[in-house]
Amino acid sequence: MDQHTVRSYRFATSRADLALAPGERIMAGGTWLMSEPVIEVRGFVDISRMPWQPWERTADGLTVSATCTIADLAALSNPDSDAFTPAERERWTALPLFAQCCHALLAGWKIWNVATVGGNVARSFAAGAITSLFAGLDTVAVVWTPDGGERRIPVADLVLDNGVNSLADGEVLRAFEIPERALRARTSMRKIALAQLGRSGSVVTGRRDQDDRVTVVITAATLRPRPLVYPSMPTPADLRQDVLDLPDFYTDPLGTADWRRGVSAELAARVLADLQEETA
């Protein structure tokens, strides 16, 4: 759609270019920014030309740039891609979770190929598929602050409410750090939507680390990510009760709070069974 209040459009190619003038807004893929009126915005600063590799290996895992597209992230799960060596694929057992979570997004061709992981997290919808993935993998967001510094915050803590996060004015998501420990985990993901192709009503990710620690994260059903962490496999009854006791299940046209609570408990039970099977 046309944004009638916007008077300027510039590309950022360096960190200095990310300093926002009053009324300017960061644009990544632009898929959300161009989908509804943003009348408070006077100018866009397009970050698609920032010289950031979509992703890179690090000493402790994998770093994904904010400008990596959802399509490029999902492609890392493809066992036939040459992104990783066979040894890395064997070691990083969590890689299939990338595509599983990306497909939880209700995405046509444009969103799949143009929307970025940073844009998805920054939008901070409860049904944010990339938020589900990153929260499930204990991922830390690297935030560039307007004074030239940076801060780190777990993605699960960055998102505060449906469409609300803790980014301050002028802060930019630079990247997401996925720790080696999480990449080596056994994982599972289950989701449900009221309509076959509808937005997710609940997404549950599960992770069993090599030291047996288990992390189950509820997203889409709750206003913000709700991780449940256990030193070892919880009993199905304990997990069920912990899910039922979570705050923040909400009602909207895509599902009632009670339905979201009930299906999340059921999905969590299935995730737990998956994690048990994997090592049986």
Ligand X SMILES: Cc1cc2nc3c(=O)[nH]c(=O)nc-3n(C[C@H](O)[C@H](O)[C@H](O)COP(=O)(O)OP(=O)(O)OC[C@H]3O[C@@H](n4cnc5c(N)ncnc54)[C@H](O)[C@@H]3O)c2cc1C
Query: Which residues of this chain interact with ligand X, rule CB under 6 A?
Result: 25-33, 35, 47, 66, 105-106, 111, 115-116, 118-120, 122-123, 125, 127-129, 167, 172-173, 199
- The residue whose Cβ lies closest to ligand X is 119
Residues 209 and 185 sit within 8 Å (Cβ to Cβ): yes
Is the CB of 37 or the CB of 244 nearer to ligand X? 37
Is the CB of 48 or the CB of 276 nearer to ligand X? 48
Distance CA(209)–CA(170), nearest Å, equals: 36
Is the CB of 172 or the CB of 223 nearer to ligand X? 172
Which H or E element spans position 177?
strand 172-179
Distance CA(175)–CA(143), nearest Å, equals: 7
Residue 96 C-beta: closest distance to ligand X, Å: 20
Edge-first strand listing for the sheet containing 214-219: 186-192, 202-208, 214-219, 226-230
Q: How far is CA 84 from CA 60, 68, 88, 112, 230, in A?
A: 15, 17, 6, 22, 30
Phi/psi for 121 (5° steps) reads -70, -40
Please work out, in degrees rounded to the nearest 5, the angle formed at the alpha carbon of residue 238 by the alpha carbons of 182 and 213.
20
Residue 101 C-beta: closest distance to ligand X, Å: 10
Is the CB of 132 or the CB of 275 nearer to ligand X? 132
Is the CB of 231 or the CB of 253 nearer to ligand X? 253
Residue 171 C-beta: closest distance to ligand X, Å: 7
Residue 277 C-beta: closest distance to ligand X, Å: 29
Residue 202 C-beta: closest distance to ligand X, Å: 13
